[in-house]
Structure 1
Amino acid sequence: MGTVRTLVFPVLRLLVWSVIAVALVVLAFGGSDAAGPSAGGPGAPMLDLSSPPVPVARGTVANTVTVQGTVVADSAVPVKATAAGTVRRVLVQKGATVTAGQTVVEVRFEEEQQPATGTDPEGNPTATPRPPKVRTVAVPTPSAGVVTSLDVLVDQVVSVGDTIGQVSPGTLSVSAPLTQAEQFRLLAPPTTAEVTVQGGPAPFTCTGLALGAEPVAAGPDAGMGGPMGPPAGGGTTARCAVPPGTAVFSGMAATVAVSAGTAEDVLVVPVTAVQGSVQQGNVWVVGDDGAEEQRSVALGLTDGEQVEIREGLDEGEQVLQFVPVPDDTVEDYSTGGPYG
C-alpha cells in the first residue's frame, strides 16, 4: 500500500495534468482544425460579416426634429440715455408698469448758439456771444413691461448710451439646446414650432423661432472654463415666443417639435448607407456582378432613419446597407509590416 501511495498515485496525477495541458494547447492553437468541421474547420459554414445590399426605393421623409427644452422668462431690456446732460425729472419709479415708448426720464442739456453778428459805430463787424439754449430730451422705454430698476437721480450727469434702468417685458419663451446633428437637420428652419408642456395646456404654437448661440453665464471663471477645463461655450439653442395668455411658467419643462419639411414619393435609402448627412454624400452601389462602386449623391431631407436621394441613384439600384469601414485586421509584425 505504501508503494501505491508513493509511486502509482504521483504517476497518475502527472499523466492527468499532462493530458489537460495537451488539450489546452490544442484548443488554443489548433482547435479548429483538430476538432473537425463542426468546430469551424474546413467545410464548416462561415459567418458572413459583409454589409447586405438594400434597394433604392421610393418613400416619404418627414423632417421633424423633437427636442427637450425649458420655458424661460425673457431678459430685461436696458433703458439708455439718449442725450448727454443732467437729469431734470424722473417720471416713473421702480416697479411701475410702462408702455412702449413711454417717457421715464427727462434729460436737460445746453445747446450752444452762434454769436450775434453786427457792426460797431465805426462800421467794423462785431460778434456778440449769446447764452446757450436749454433743451430737454425725453428718454423712452424700449418696450412695454415692468420697470425693474431705475438707477438715476435728479441733477445726475449722464452720457449718451448710459444704461439708466431696466424694463422686464414680462413675456416668456421656450429655449431648447440642439445637438450638432439636429442643427444640420435645421439648416432652413421654419418660423414656428409645436410646444407641449407636460401637465399644462394643450399643445400650442410658439412663434418667432430662431436658432442662435446660447448666452454664456458670467462668473469668476467665465471664458476660462474653470481651473481644469477649456473655455466654456454656450452651444446652440432653438428659441421661440410663448403666445400671451398661455398658462405656463418659467422653469417648466417642454417638448419642442420643429417640422422642417416633408418630401413625398422620393428616392430614399437608410441613413446607415450614406457617408455624410448634409447636401452631399457617398454610397456604395452593388452591381449585378457583385462589384461595389463608390458613388457621390445629392442629399435632401432626412428623418433620422432614411434620407432623400435627389441625384446620383436610380430606383431599384442596390446599395450597401452600411458604409464600409477600413480593414481592422491586426498585422503580424513578426513576419513583416512596417517593423518587420
Structure 2
Amino acid sequence: MTTISVPGGFMGIARTWVFPILRILLVAVVAAALIKLAFFPDRPVDASPAMPTGSIVEPTTVAALGTITNDVVVSATVAADPAVAMKSTAAGTVNKIFIAQGATVAQGDVVFDVKVPIERDPADSVDAEGKPKPAIFRYQDVTAPAGGILSSLSVISGQEVTIGMAAGAVAPPTFSVSGTLEPAQQYRLLDRPTEATVTITGGPAAFTCGNLRITTPLAGSGGDASESSTAAGGAVSGSGGAGSGSGTTATCTVPSDVTVFSGLAAEMTIAGGRAENVLVVPTTAVRGAAQSGTVWIMNADGTTEERPVALGLTDGTQVQITQGVAEGDQLLEFAPGAMAPANDGCTTYPDGSMYCEAATAG
C-alpha cells in the first residue's frame, strides 16, 4: 500500500486556508449588518429629524380658598430700659438734697430743691429807714422723673444750677425686648399690632409683651434718640436718604411679673393678621410682594393673560388675592419676575434682597 504524506497535516491546511476564509466571512457579515442599520432601518425615518418631538409645559397652580397666618418672627434680645435723665427745673443754688444716690425712688419723689432768688419791685427794695431789704427766695423742687434706682446724682448742696441742667438719672427696674426688622418684613406689618409674643431662650414660658413700638431712625439723625415711631394703625415712616428703612427695630415691654435678665436671647413673634377662607396662591405665582402685583392666567387655548391683582396678607409662602382672580383660575406657578421659591427658609424679593426666617431654637 502506498501512503501519501501531507506536509504539516490537517492543522497546516487549517492555518493556511480555513482560518483566513473564516475571518473574511466574519468581516463580511459585520459589514453587511452595519450597512443594514445605517441605510435600511426597521422603521421609517422621521421626515424632519431636526425638529424637536417634545414640548415644554409651564407648571401651573390653581387659585383656591385657604387660611393665611401672617406671623413675623424676629430674633431679639432682652435689655434693661435706659436710665431716665433728671434735670434741674430752675436756675439757682442747690439748697438741700433729700435722697442719696443709689436709693430707690418713686416717680415724683423730691430728690433736691433749688433756692431761687426773687427780684423785688424797685419801689419795695428799701425799708422805711432807706436800708436795702434782705433778699427773698422761693424753693423749686426737682423730682424723680420715673420710679427705680437713683443711679446717679451729679449735684451737691450750694452748687449753682441752670434750667435744664443734667442733675442725675433714674434707672427703672423694667426690661424690654428688641429685635431688628428686615425691610421686607415691614410690608407684612402695615397694620401695626400693639403686642407681641416673646419666648426667652432657656427662660420661662412664652408671654405677651405689650406696648409694642416699631421705630426707624430719621434721615440725618445718625441713629440717635431722634426716631420716627409707628404705633398701631400707622405705616412705616421713611425718608429718601441713603439707608432709609434700615435699622428699624421692634421693641416691647416685659411684664413686671416675668423675671428676665439683660442680654438674654429671645424670639419675638408679631402677629400681623390672620385671614380664613380667603383666596390664596403661591407667592411664586405673583410678580410683586405687597399691596399690588401681577399674575399670568392660563386660558383654555393654552395662551397666557397678564392680569393685575390686589394683594392682602402673606406668610412668605402664600399670598392672599383680594381682587383680580377668581377661585379655580389656573395661573402660571412661576410668574416672570416673581419671588423665587424659598430655599432653606430664605426668600428672594424682586429688588434682589433676600430674607431668611430665623431658625427655631430646639
| Equivalent residues in 2 for 1:1-340, closer than 5 Å | 42-43=51-52, 45=54, 48=56, 51-116=58-123, 133-213=136-216, 235-325=247-337
Specify whether residues 318 and 155 from structure 1 end up closer, same or farther in structure 2 by C-alpha distance, changes over 3 A only: same
Aligned residues: percent identity? 45
CA drift of 1:68 comes to 1.0
Query: Which amino acid in 2 is paired with 1:69?
Result: A
Specify whether residues 276 and 325 from structure 1 end up closer, same or farther in structure 2 by C-alpha distance, changes over 3 A only: closer
CA deviation map 1:293-322 (0-9, x unaligned)? 222211111111111111111111122211
Query: Which amino acid in 2 is paired with 1:136?
Result: Y
Query: Which amino acid in 2 is paired with 1:270?
Result: P
Name the larger-Rg structure. 2
Unaligned runs of 5+ in 2: 1-44, 125-130, 225-241, 339-362
Report the counterpart of residue 31 of structure 1 in structure 2. none
C-alpha separation in 1, matches of 2:170 and 2:305: 63
Specify whether residues 314 and 176 from structure 1 end up closer, same or farther in structure 2 by C-alpha distance, changes over 3 A only: same
CA RMSD of aligned residues (A): 2.8
Contact 1:105–1:138 (CA under 8 A) maintained in structure 2: yes
CA deviation map 1:91-137 (0-9, x unaligned)? 222111100111111011122233448xxxxxxxxxx9976641100
C-alpha separation in 1, matches of 2:151 and 2:134: 39
Specify whether residues 191 and 319 from structure 1 end up closer, same or farther in structure 2 by C-alpha distance, changes over 3 A only: same
Contact 2:311–2:321 (CA under 8 A) maintained in structure 1: yes
C-alpha separation in 2, matches of 1:111 and 1:69: 53
Specify whether residues 77 and 233 from structure 1 end up closer, same or farther in structure 2 by C-alpha distance, changes over 3 A only: farther
**What's the TM-score once normalised by structure 2's chain length?**
0.67
Q: SS at the partner of 1:86?
A: strand
Contact 1:195–1:203 (CA under 8 A) maintained in structure 2: yes
C-alpha separation in 2, matches of 1:217 and 1:247: 30
C-alpha separation in 2, matches of 1:140 and 1:76: 15
Contact 1:112–1:131 (CA under 8 A) maintained in structure 2: no
**What's the TM-score once normalised by structure 1's chain length?**
0.71
CA drift of 1:233 comes to 9.4
Unaligned runs of 5+ in 1: 1-35, 118-127, 219-229, 327-340
CA drift of 1:42 comes to 4.1
Contact 2:61–2:332 (CA under 8 A) maintained in structure 1: yes
Query: Across the two proteins, how many residue pairs are aligned to each other?
Result: 266
CA drift of 1:198 comes to 2.2
Contact 1:216–1:232 (CA under 8 A) maintained in structure 2: no
Q: SS at the partner of 2:284?
A: helix
Specify whether residues 196 and 162 from structure 1 end up closer, same or farther in structure 2 by C-alpha distance, changes over 3 A only: same
